[in-house]
């Protein structure tokens, strides 16, 4: 049986017809290597952003179902164009949307999880020698409703397809030459990583390194899918391999630094200090599918017997969160709900920080030297995150990247020219 390679191309890689021709050549080259090829594509260029803008111009809070109907159209355009470009080169190709394939998701609009992928149609078409082009980012529920997987979700479509088809590899082609020690657009002297572990990549992705959708890394780890991030434009560079930690040697305590600017902090003030308050609050948010990230509960004040609960959510979930909190205000007896959406989460990540003291204090000292105030802190075994003012985020990333020895002398190429394939 032939090996199956899943390739994914992001928005920049298919931004115009010349770039789509470039993608067609990369796809065909993989087919010429004797492999079966399934290609996942995102919407062209900034299409999804434009669609969001139009929706927001018509309604401040558009319905999630209609957002999915709207946003899923972007990928519909690119799959057909790429299939045509491949056919024009004399190769047999067919495009499918998520409904045609059967990319089944839960019934949650704008951030659905993939539950199952039907493979019969894919296998039949691969057996017939075709190159298959699948729309990323979209799914379908059991009742035939269109869903999307969350911004950046095409990566997850690709990895989930690779897992379902037991593919040899999943290659994520993008506009940078791999995974860097931090966003090379923010720190041009960021270093490209040859390898990074699933766990570190997962933390980096959750911390705002949007080069990979967090759920794609989660899925790759769960199904042990070999995952590579590489450039659509610099084909001589094999990019970054994401793999299990047992296969890696760890040299540095910190592998990468990331910032997430899409966060909001909420403080629920003066709630009674008794059992059940946090459960009631976060239980209600969970029911509305709102993910909470950092949480801090203050010490109870002796006289009033109350405390404050502070937590962060994504900016996208902020309006829904405030609606839920308003409805709970009377129940919890909170005196006030304060919102700060001018914040960012800055994180350092590294499997090498386990059992190595001094990493956290170096991070805090570095921020203090820049007079950056830390508003919240959270940690995991391999990550430390600090909430800071949004205006301090890039300065913080730059300084942390330097202090943990991650800089290199070369300037990263974020968007290369079209190569000769």
The residues in 166-185 that bind ligand ADP, with binding defined as CB under 6 A, are 174-176, 179-180, 182-185
| Tokens at 233, concatenated | 């434009």
Q: How far apart are CA 347 and CA 379, in angstroms?
A: 9
350 near ligand ADP, rule: CB under 6 A: no
Q: How far apart are CA 105 and CA 98, in angstroms?
A: 10
Among 107-115, 148-156, 239-247, 403-411, the segment contacting ligand ASP (CB under 6 A): 148-156
Among the listed residues 19, 109, 136, 205, the single contact to ligand ASP using CB under 6 A: 136
Match 């989460």 to its residue by tokens.
345
136 binds, among ligand ASP, Mg ion, ligand ADP, none (CB under 5 to 8 A by kind): ligand ASP
Burial, 251: exposed, middle or buried (Cβ in 10 Å; 0-12, 13-18, 19+)? exposed
Match 């820049």 to its residue by tokens.
370
121 near ligand ADP, rule: CB under 6 A: no
Q: How far apart are CA 199 and CA 213, in angstroms?
A: 13
Dihedral sign of CA atoms 405, 410, 416, 420 in order? negative
Among 42-50, 235-243, 354-362, 393-401, the segment contacting ligand ASP (CB under 6 A): 42-50
Cα–Cα distance list, 18 to 8, 186, 193 (Å): 17, 28, 29
Beta bridge partners of residue 297, listed in sequence order: 309
Nearer to ligand ASP, 15 or 367 (CB): 15
Residues 385 and 203 sit within 8 Å (Cβ to Cβ): no
The residues in 136-155 that bind Mg ion, with binding defined as CB under 5 A, are 152
The residues in 138-167 that bind ligand ADP, with binding defined as CB under 6 A, are 152
Q: How far is the CB of 77 from ligand ASP (least distance, A)?
A: 11
178 near Mg ion, rule: CB under 5 A: no
Q: How far is the CB of 129 from ligand ADP (least distance, A)?
A: 28
Beta bridge partners of residue 343, listed in sequence order: 263, 389
7 near ligand ASP, rule: CB under 6 A: no
Nearer to ligand ADP, 117 or 414 (CB): 414
46 near ligand ADP, rule: CB under 6 A: no
Q: How far apart are CA 376 and CA 99, in angstroms?
A: 43
| Tokens at 231, concatenated | 């450039």
Task: Give residues in contact with Mg ion (CB under 5 A).
Answer: 10, 152
Binding site for ligand ASP (CB under 6 A): 10-11, 42-43, 48, 74, 136-137, 151-154
Which positions lie near ligand ADP, rule CB under 6 A? 10-13, 42, 152, 174-176, 179-180, 182-185, 209-211, 256, 414
């Amino acid at each position: 049986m032939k090996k199956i390679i899943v390739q994914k191309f992001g928005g920049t890689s298919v931004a115009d017809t010349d770039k789509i021709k470039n993608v067609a050549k990369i796809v065909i080259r993989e087919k010429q290597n004797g492999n079966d090829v399934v290609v996942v594509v995102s919407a062209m260029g900034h299409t999804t952003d434009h669609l969001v803008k139009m929706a927001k111009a018509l309604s401040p809070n558009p319905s999630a179902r209609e957002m999915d109907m709207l946003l899923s159209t972007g990928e519909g355009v690119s799959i057909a164009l790429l299939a045509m470009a491949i056919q024009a080169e004399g190769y047999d190709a067919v495009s499918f949307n998520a409904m045609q394939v059967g990319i089944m998701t839960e019934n949650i609009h704008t951030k659905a999880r993939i539950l199952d992928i039907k493979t019969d149609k894919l296998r039949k078409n691969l057996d017939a020698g075709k190159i298959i082009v699948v729309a990323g980012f979209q799914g379908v529920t059991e009742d035939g409703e269109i869903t999307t997987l969350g911004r950046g979700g095409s990566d997850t479509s690709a990895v989930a397809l690779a897992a379902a088809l037991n593919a040899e590899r999943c290659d994520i082609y993008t506009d940078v030459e791999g995974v860097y020690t931090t966003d090379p657009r923010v720190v041009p002297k960021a270093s490209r990583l040859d390898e990074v572990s699933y766990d570190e990549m997962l933390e980096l992705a959750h911390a705002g390194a949007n080069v990979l959708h967090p759920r794609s890394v989660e899925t790759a780890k769960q199904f042990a899918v070999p995952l590579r991030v590489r450039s659509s434009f610099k084909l001589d560079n094999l990019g970054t391999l994401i793999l299990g930690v047992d296969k890696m040697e760890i040299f540095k305590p910190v592998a990468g630094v990331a910032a997430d600017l899409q966060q909001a902090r909420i403080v629920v003030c003066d709630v009674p200090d008794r059992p059940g308050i946090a459960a009631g609050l976060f239980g209600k948010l969970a029911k509305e599918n709102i993910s909470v990230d950092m949480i801090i509960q203050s010490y109870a004040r002796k006289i009033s017997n109350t405390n404050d609960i502070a937590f962060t959510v994504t900016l996208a979930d902020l309006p829904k969160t405030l609606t839920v909190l308003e409805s709970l205000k009377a129940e919890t007896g909170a005196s006030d709900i304060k919102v700060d959406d001018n914040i960012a989460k800055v994180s350092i990540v590294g499997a090498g920080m386990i059992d190595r003291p001094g990493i956290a204090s170096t991070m805090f000292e570095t921020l203090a030297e820049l007079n950056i105030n830390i508003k919240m802190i959270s940690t995991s075994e391999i990550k430390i995150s600090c909430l800071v003012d949004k205006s301090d985020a890039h300065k913080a990333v730059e300084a942390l990247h330097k202090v943990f020895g991650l800089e290199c002398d070369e300037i990263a190429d974020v968007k290369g020219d079209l190569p000769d394939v």
